[in-house]
Structure 1
Amino acid sequence: MINTLTKAFLFSLIGFASSLQAQAPTAQGNAQLSASLPAYSKIYSEQSDPFKDAAAAIRSATSSNRNVLIEIGGNWCTWCHKIDAFLEQNPDIYQALHANFVLLKVSVSDANENEAFMKGLPPVLGYPHMYVSTAQGKVLLSKDTAEFLRSGSYSREQWLNFIDEWQFANNDSNLAKQKKIKNKNNTSD
């Protein structure tokens, strides 16, 4: 009787552990997700038309109730590669990012500064630089990615807080905050 109970307990424990493992984000999950992403979410391309890519990203964001995360950088950008490596090493953050945002990578380089596209955005402070946009094209945030750093490395906590704060579900409160700041700045002039 005890032997039967022990076996039943062990089988249920193994089943529980397997279900937890299946639910936990993994590098394999990253690879599967990455395979389904459009090129503009994975690479910086000097040949890409950022206006076409942005239109596609906005369509995707609209149909999936997500915001667009515009990442400005390039293949020359060391910190851009560090973000990619950080996300690869943190599958939960990578998957949360793509669950809540359509990532649009826009290349800027000596060969192609994408000036016309960049004119429509607030100034870049450094590279990589990020903007959060609604699916309607309203820029909610302009962010220097140095703010994600802690002790010289990208911070899990900073990334998770960013994803949580700037996701689609918070657009109304973020737009209200933005409007309040704008009104305050207009009255102080």
Structure 2
Amino acid sequence: MKNTVLKLAVLSFVMLGLSVQAQKKKDEKKVELSVAEKKKALEAEKARLIKPYNPKENAEVELSKLIEKAQAENKNIIVQAGGNWCIWCLRFNQFVQDTPELKSFVDKHFLYYHLNWSPDNKNEALFEKYGNPGEKYGYPVFIILNKNGEMIHVQESSGFEEGKGYSVDKVKEFFEKWADASK
């Protein structure tokens, strides 16, 4: 009798282990599916968003033109460094464009430039000139230039994040701080 009880206990233990392994495999498949679903949703979101970065553009020439315009208009320049591959870069651009109080503030107080960093065009000379902030902070990263093109501030973007987007208050505070600085 003891032997039968012992065999049943061992059998139950083995069955429990097999059941746990089966559940673990199901959970792993759910995670794989979830990752695939998230990737698909991310790609769909990227496809919908405006692509403000131009890897074919000569950024040094464009920025020189912008500096001339900044001097004429007495405005600072926001350089948003990143690329069309970067969902957070695209989200930030869309966020500013779709938030009337931010868009009007930026249009009134700044000139805005999207500095491309991608395998197609790394704009190495410009990034080196500004201390390669993308290597330090990731993307997007913001470089504030005064009207003469002198760098006066570099800002990483994670402090602006809120959920899957950005905080209006934090972004507005950032814009306000650098609108009139060092003109």
Instruction: Give the alignment's TM-score, normalised by structure 1.
Output: 0.65
Within 5 A, what are the aligned runs for 1:1-189? Answer: 43-124=52-133, 125-168=137-180, 170-171=181-182
Q: Helix, strand or coil for the counterpart of 2:173?
A: helix
Per-residue deviation, residues 46-85 of structure 1 (Å, max 9, x unmatched): 1111111111111111111110101111111101111122
Unaligned runs of 5+ in 1: 1-41, 173-189
Q: Helix, strand or coil for the counterpart of 2:129?
A: coil
d(CA) in 2 for partners of 1:157, 1:149: 11
d(CA) in 2 for partners of 1:56, 1:85: 24
Unaligned runs of 5+ in 2: 1-50
The alignment's C-alpha RMSD in Å is 1.5
d(CA) in 2 for partners of 1:58, 1:148: 26
Per-residue deviation, residues 84-128 of structure 1 (Å, max 9, x unmatched): 221232111011012111101111101111111211002321111
Instruction: Give the alignment's TM-score, normalised by structure 2.
Output: 0.67
Which deviates more, 57-66 or 148-157?
A: 148-157
Following TM superposition, the consecutive aligned residue runs of length 4 or more in structure 1 with deviations greater than 6 angstroms are: none
Deviation at 1:152, TM superposition (A): 4.2
Per-residue deviation, residues 120-148 of structure 1 (Å, max 9, x unmatched): 00232111111000011211111111111
Q: Share of identical aligned residues, percent?
A: 23
